[in-house]
């Protein structure tokens, strides 16, 4: 419903009864947005302009806005809250502990011990999150792998499997096939090793710069 809100940063609060939050004024309306301490630290000074990518959560008793300073974190948040047992609060805790790129890397490698570092996320929940989220990220739209025959790689061997896995995650985050392919082409040239998480990390960083 609301992709992003661009306006003046009226206030920001790293801690509070409702957790980290910011208020953004747009067209004489102030939007209260739940966020993470990580985003609070990255936001500018109060009174500066800000662009926040949002997710609207509709409950029986309330409508809640959650927001992030980059599209990737917002899109990962939207996928996180579809995992059973993961609500808004747990998703925000995870994206406070990990950046979007790091969280995806932890999920793909299946490192539940690392994931359980997040406050309130025990080993059992961490394993459940990895199991369901990895399935959602990798298997969704994996039926149409990219043709990497025209990707020029200098002295590197990039496997079709690594590219397909990275592509599946980008598609699940809402990027188009062309956006995914362009990002992966760049990532394959800069990635330090042939692994889906490394290619994905480089791809997301490239897309963040392009969309910034």
pLDDT digits (tens, 9 = 90+) for 73-120: 898 899 899 888 888 999 999 999 998 878 888 888 888 999 999 988
pLDDT at 155: 43
pLDDT for 191: 74
CATH 2.40.50.140: which residues of the chain? 4-68
pLDDT at 104: 84
What does the pLDDT average to over 199-211? 81
Mean confidence (pLDDT) of the chain: 84
For residue 132, pLDDT over 90 is answered with no
Query: Residue 174: helix, strand or coil by DSSP?
Result: coil
Element (H, E) at 24: strand 21-26
pLDDT-derived band at 140, boundaries 50, 70, 90: low
pLDDT attached to residue 209: 78
How sure is the predictor about 152, in pLDDT bands with cuts at 50, 70 and 90?
A: low
Candidate CATH numbers 3.40.50, 3.30.1490, 1.10.8, 1.10.3470; the one for domain 160-211: 1.10.8
Q: Which CATH topology does 72-137 take?
A: DNA polymerase; domain 1 (1.10.150)
Q: Where are the alpha helices (DSSP H) in the chain?
A: 37-42, 71-80, 88-97, 100-109, 112-115, 123-139, 160-172, 177-190, 196-211
Over the stretch 57-76, which tens digit does the pLDDT of each residue have?
988 888 899 999 988 889 88
Contact 203, 180 (CB under 8 A): yes
Query: How do 49-58 and 21-26 pair as beta strands?
Result: unpaired
d(CA 56, CA 37): 19
What pLDDT is recorded for position 100? 82
* Cα distance between residue 164 and residue 146, in whole Å: 7
Domain ranges in the chain with CATH number 1.10.150.20:
72-137
66 vs 212: which has the higher pLDDT:
66
**pTM for the predicted model, two decimal places:** 0.77
- DSSP, collapsed to helix, strand or coil, labels residue 70 as coil
Q: How far apart are CA 61 and CA 91, in angstroms?
A: 20
In the chain, CATH 1.10.8 covers 160-211
CATH class for the domain made up of 4-68: mainly beta
Task: Give strand pairing partners of 57.
Answer: 64
Between CA 129 and CA 117 the distance in angstroms is 13
Per-residue model confidence (pLDDT) at position 113: 92
């Amino acid at each position: 419903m609301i992709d992003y809100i661009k306006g003046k940063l009226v206030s920001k609060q790293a801690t509070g009864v409702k957790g980290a939050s910011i208020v953004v004024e747009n067209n004489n309306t102030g939007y209260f947005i739940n966020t993470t301490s990580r985003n609070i630290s990255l936001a500018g000074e109060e009174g500066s302009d800000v662009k926040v990518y949002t997710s609207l959560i509709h409950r029986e008793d309330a409508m809640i806005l959650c927001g992030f300073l980059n599209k990737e974190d917002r899109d990962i948040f939207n996928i996180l809250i579809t995992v059973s047992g993961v609500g808004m609060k747990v998703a925000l805790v995870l994206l406070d502990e990990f950046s979007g790129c790091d969280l995806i890397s932890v999920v793909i490698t299946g490192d539940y011990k690392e994931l359980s570092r997040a406050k309130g996320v025990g080993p059992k929940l961490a394993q459940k999150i990895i199991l369901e989220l990895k399935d959602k990220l990798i298997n969704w739209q994996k039926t149409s792998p990219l043709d990497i025959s025209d990707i020029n790689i200098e002295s590197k061997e990039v496997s079709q499997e690594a590219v397909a896995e990275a592509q599946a995650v980008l598609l699940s985050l809402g990027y188009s096939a062309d956006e995914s392919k362009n990002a992966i082409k760049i990532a394959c040239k800069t990635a330090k090793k042939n692994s889906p998480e490394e290619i994905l990390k480089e791809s997301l960083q490239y897309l963040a710069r392009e969309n910034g």
